[in-house]
Amino acid sequence: MAEIIEEYPLHKAVFESDLKSVSRLLRTVDIAAKDKHGNTPLHLAVMLGRVECVQLLLKHDAPVKVKNGLGWTVLAEAVSYGNRPTISSLVRKFRQQSREQMEERRPNLVEALNRINDFYMELKWDFQSWVPLVSRILPSDICKIYKSGANIRLDTTLVEFSDMRWERGDISFIFNGLAPSNESLTVLDNIMKVYQKVKYEENEMEIEDEVDLLMSTDILAAQISTKSISFARAQSGWIFREDRKELVAGQYESELYTVHGLMLESRKRREHLSADDLQKNKAILESFTKGNNLQNFDQNGIPLRRTSLVPPPDKNVTWEQYIQAELNDYPRLGRDLVYKESTKSFKATIAMSSEFPLSVDMLLNVLEVIAPFKHFSKLRDFITLKLPTGFPVKVEIPILPTVTAKITFQHFEFRNDIPKNLFSIPKDYIEDPTRFPDL
């Protein structure tokens, strides 16, 4: 067991708040390495409230978007502990690292887009729910996608859809693959005639707003579990069973599959919330309020910021007790958990066609560009699964615990006459850097 203890010297130094050893080890040890419980040094620093260690690790670019063996990110553990400066630093570093990762992928993405012939495509989104009342009020949308060279334009009427709140409009999202990175993504509001460039510089007000939101709402971890997923040919007929086929969008002969083993795992933590927080959040959910702004202001209109929580009591857990504990059954290091989890199975179907002119890999490259739209990122995640042969011309995927989306690729054509002005900002549009606060 002594070998295990010495296997993670940086973790141990963080655990024991030995800043001098942490600084020395950072020159030789992998800062992203996980211990036997899946925790990185940054996980431990956050859970134990080692503020100076957190800042030192972040200065050396410790990864923020990483989960431990229990499935919790560094940011989730930081919200639980409740130290506001730490949460702000993590949000800032997370944005920086996400931006850098996108920039690393960008040359390959532009090259892949240039290899695809120019095209026009329409996707129909139908949002559905097993809750009758909710199902009646859910939106639908037809998205139009234009691709020319390394440029992509997406037109949609569904501006935002998350947490049972949505906004209608007339929105265009433009990606210019050859533009400088800080000018490559632009969103147009075609009703208000304004545009917003998706910024790369950090806005302190936005970061602090996000920290307020994180500190006043549940810590959520939701993922589609695909461990036991399988695809079976859908069949029809009572006595003589035969594989079902369908003509999707009136032109794509498709084979229908039933998706088995698709589970949405939702986990919720709220040990950092007061009774007052819980009451406010319940009222907001019940009213289906548009947007997610929970901000309060003082009499002068200045935002009232959440303050750091009182640190949890020191658990007096030793490094040896932690590292020698059974896998993922170590003593709680930070605030005691207030935890709830649920699993919901989804029945889904998928129509695969060998006649669709686009390949799955080509589609993934397009979806990579338009991932800032949250429901498109769900579609991208689903299509990365090992699907049956062909192209998924019709797909059902879970979006929220009570909502599924049916996406139909209802029109596609390769075109060499797509107007270049579709990918530029109209001259009569005015820049509004605050129009889309989530981008």
Give the domains, in start order, of the chain with CATH numbers. 2-97+212-217+271-339 (1.25.40.20), 117-200+218-270+340-439 (2.50.20)
Taking the CA atoms of 136, 279, 161 and 361 in sequence, report the sign of the dihedral they define.
negative
Mean pLDDT of 94-108: 88
Name the residue with tokens 């090259």.
111
**For position 294, what pLDDT does the model report?**
46
Amino acid letter for position 384: T
The whole-angstrom separation of Cα 429 and Cα 418 is 21
Q: Of 81, 46, 83, which Cα lies nearest the Cα of 64?
A: 46
The whole-angstrom separation of Cα 60 and Cα 41 is 12
Better-predicted residue by pLDDT, 151 or 372: 151
pTM of the full predicted structure? 0.78
Give the pair of three-digit tokens for residue 261.
């083993």
**For position 318, what pLDDT does the model report?**
96
Asked if residue 78 has pLDDT above 50, the reply is: yes
Taking only the tens place, the pLDDT of each residue in 130-181 is: 665 554 556 678 889 999 999 999 998 875 545 445 566 788 989 998 888 7
The whole-angstrom separation of Cα 389 and Cα 412 is 19
The whole-angstrom separation of Cα 170 and Cα 149 is 24
Helix (H, G, I), strand (E, B) or coil at 161: strand
Taking only the tens place, the pLDDT of each residue in 308-358 is: 999 999 999 999 999 999 999 999 999 999 999 988 887 788 999 999 999
Better-predicted residue by pLDDT, 92 or 203: 92
Angle (deg, nearest 10), helices 374-383 and 360-369: 150
Mean pLDDT of 286-292: 42
Let me know: does 175 contact 164? Beta carbons within 8 Å: no
